[in-house]
Copies of this chain bind each other. A is one copy, B any other.
Amino acid sequence: MELRRWPRKNDPESIKSRQDELRALTQDGEVFSHDLTPFAGAQEAVTGVAVIPVSVIGPLEIELGEYELEEPFGRLVETGRASDRIYVPLAHTEGSLSASLYRGARAVSESGGFKTFVLGDRITRASCFVCGSAEEAVTLSRFLDAHVAEMRRWLAERVEADPALSKFARLREVKTHVVGPMCHVLWRWTTGDAVGANMMTRNSYVLNMGYVMERAPVTPQRSVLEANMGGDKKPSFEYFQSGHGKTVIAETTLTEDAVRRVLRTKLDDLADLAWAGTHGAIASGMQSVAFTPASAIAALFAATGQDLGMVGTSSMAHGAARRVDGGLQVSLRLPGLEVATIGGGTTLPYARRWLEVIGCAGAGKVYRFAQIVAAATLALEISASAAMATAGSAEFFRAHHERGGLR
């Protein structure tokens, strides 16, 4: 094979040419046998498919909030609350994950259901202006801090005139941070029902080049579109605390009865596990405090066409548990759920269908979707915790190991 000849287009001929090159490497052409037409616009060099089995588990009984962004500042307002019963699709290949999530959902249903809340909605592009000195960077940061309203107006005008810019990405706040000659700038946006990475990239870019580089009182040596002050697809404290995408919290209070009958453990066992697990997380320098949020989030993301590169950031989680009268109050805060119900992979076959199954396809559904993800993740946390708590007991050991049962 010759380097320069690898075709990247998705016309039938290019696809076939790639498949022909590779066919000898695999015993079976199944990966090449699907109709790729619906996927031709999704990415370059499409050559085959991956198929992942999807389980459906439910119902999750959730009381969800309804939300709107208040203009012009983008404050998130809860406009109502409603209950629903939802069956979630999980694309994965991990034995027992679906059964475990089911068990958690059952325990919560028997305890009165989940409640979920969206706390925030922002997505950030972290640009950086490399100036001639810290002095210049400080001057620039003061200028930017003082011109947020003006930049909002300037951008709004450009967006009207220029179809390459996004009307959906709206600038909400600007945060500067000077390190040496670098003036890092967090452009904070809302992007509606899309994750909006491309939208905000385009709008951030025109702000950088059209406004800052042209009008700032100092001339930066360089403008860097993204310089890690945030955390694109990389967990960061900035996003763990300030949020990225949707910040959501889910909670429930498990009853003693549900813990005993469904989870087959005890309130005290779960409370003690939470205590040991929290201190273990601290000792290991883990940012999140949780057991296995990424398992649920990845499975929901893979089924619904979300960006799998965002599994790590979206799985940042801060769980908390405490004994209350007659139960265990448990909650999970997901600060950076980067989810969409329009655009990207959500528009493709399969993904769109699975979104329909949970009533989350299309515009106006993203807060609903984020809350469903949070509830499903908490369901798995609860069941996985119970398994950990149980697995430490002598009875469990005898039952499952000495009698040969351990899976």
A105-143 CB mask vs B (1 if < 8 Å, else 0) is 010010000010101000000101010011100100110
CA distance A358 to B47 in the complex (A): 14
Q: Assess the A291–B232 pair: CB atoms within 8 A.
A: yes
With A50-B52, A230-B284, A281-B228 known to touch, is A25 a contact of B356 (CB < 8 Å)? yes
Interface residues of A in 280-317 (CB under 8 A from B): 280-295, 297-299, 301-303, 305, 307-313, 315, 317
Write the nearest CB–CB distance from A2 to chain B, whole angstroms. Answer: 9
Using a Cβ–Cβ cut-off of 8 Å, how many residues does chain A contribute to the interface with B? 175
Q: Assess the A284–B92 pair: CB atoms within 8 A.
A: no
A379-393 CB mask vs B (1 if < 8 Å, else 0) is 000000000110110
Write the nearest CB–CB distance from A229 to chain B, whole angstroms. Answer: 4
Q: Chain B contacts of A3 at CB under 8 A?
A: 59, 106, 109
A53 an interface residue at 8 Å Cβ cutoff? yes
Interface residues of A in 347-397 (CB under 8 A from B): 348-351, 353-354, 356-359, 388-389, 391-392, 394, 397
Write the nearest CB–CB distance from A107 to chain B, whole angstroms. Answer: 11
A238 an interface residue at 8 Å Cβ cutoff? yes
Set B210, B307, B404: member contacting A94, Cβ < 8 A: B307
Q: Chain B contacts of A39 at CB under 8 A?
A: 53, 93
Q: Assess the B57–A53 pair: CB atoms within 8 A.
A: no
Write the nearest CB–CB distance from A81 to chain B, whole angstroms. Answer: 10
5 A/B residue pairs, CB under 8 Å, sorted by A: A115-B133, A179-B282, A228-B281, A231-B284, A234-B294
